[in-house]
Amino acid sequence: MSFSVSSLTNYTKENEALLVSSSVLGAKTAALIKSAGNVMVGVKSAETINIMDTDAFFQAGGTCGWNASGTTSFTQRTVTVGKIKVQESLCPKALEAKYLQKALPTGSQYDSIPFEQDYSDRKAKTIASQLETAIWQGDTGSANGNLNKFDGLIKLIGAASGVVDANVSGYVSGAPLTSITATNVIALFDGVYKAIPAKVVSADDMTIFCGVDTFRTYTIALKNANMFNYAFDGKADSEFVLPGTSIKVVAVNGLNGTNDVYAMRLSNLFLGTDLLNEEEKFEIFFAKEADEVRFAAEFKMGVNIAFPDEIVKVAI
């Protein structure tokens, strides 16, 4: 069963880009990756992040001769996208016996609903919310249909070699921690900061990610410790600068309920999708043969990281 509008064709065309933007790139983490310029478009199945690295060995100058040294290496990490579709149909006639009948047009034939804009906005936000969770918690081995379309950052970072584990006594007192509490959360975030590799700790896009639940525990602990000198920059419920540093702590719903904390550069995150292709359809249309209105969305999504050795994790 599904919903639609009387001027459905025009509405769909005019709002298709908005639906795509709000749903696929509207998830907070996806938007942050987009802000770093790391959205890979046109990905049908998988695409590689191509990485070049090089070293430099200083030699004594002032003499003739040639003594080659150093290596330039090329490596790859793969972004594999999941193929996702959302389909819904609702019969407007099912509204006749409810209070919503007042919003229906006169007559017994309906090819639209009067609240298509609200429906479209809510649908786009719901898709974005579910994608936000999948970006972090996605696992192709999961029994959850909303999480098993592609592997998320938690699984990918967990499987990568070189990631710095901050949940050890060298970084956090009393580690390994088995839970995050008001008593240990300040020490935990200080330990994450301490564990960030020196070569990237001063990067202007270095970010510490945590769930909104962990973020609240942290901010309450800071206030209770009378640490009032931290800056919220107008986003008190979602991000602030780690006290004494220039690194942002950002709360994302995708990490809610995990107790995980990650530190990495935004430029180290990559997102793959196929938004520029015709098969990426977000439509609301009247299916005359079924006498119902339908919503259809189809898209691809996948994520990965480029440099595991620049990432710090606390997985509890």
How far apart are the C-alpha atoms of 259 and 192, rounded to whole Å? 13
pLDDT value of residue 260? 98
| pLDDT by 10s per residue, the chain, length 316 | 444 434 334 333 344 455 555 666 678 999 999 999 999 998 999 998 888 888 888 888 888 988 888 888 888 899 999 999 999 887 766 666 555 555 565 655 656 666 777 788 888 889 999 999 999 999 999 999 999 999 999 999 999 999 999 999 999 999 999 999 999 999 999 999 999 999 999 999 999 999 999 999 999 998 888 765 555 554 656 888 998 899 999 999 999 999 999 999 999 999 999 876 555 678 888 888 887 888 888 999 999 999 999 999 999 9
How far apart are the C-alpha atoms of 214 and 158, rounded to whole Å? 19
SS3 265: strand
Q: Which amino acid is at 106?
A: T
Residue 290 to residues 67, 90, 98, 120, 287, Cα–Cα distance (Å): 77, 11, 22, 21, 6
Six-digit token string for 107: 């007559």
Show the beta-strand stretches assigned E in 120-198.
164-165
Residue 219 to residues 181, 237, 251, Cα–Cα distance (Å): 12, 9, 11
SS3 31: helix
pLDDT value of residue 146? 96
Residue 89 to residues 45, 46, 283, 291, 303, Cα–Cα distance (Å): 28, 31, 12, 10, 30
pLDDT value of residue 22? 61
pLDDT value of residue 261? 98
What distance, in Å, lies between the first and last C-alpha atoms of the chain? 42
How far apart are the C-alpha atoms of 294 and 185, rounded to whole Å? 47
Six-digit token string for 232: 């919220």
pLDDT value of residue 15? 46
Q: For residue 210, give the nearest of 232, 240, 177 by alpha carbon.
A: 240
Residue 119 to residues 114, 125, 126, 199, 293, Cα–Cα distance (Å): 10, 10, 10, 47, 12
Q: For residue 119, give the nearest of 135, 106, 100 by alpha carbon.
A: 100
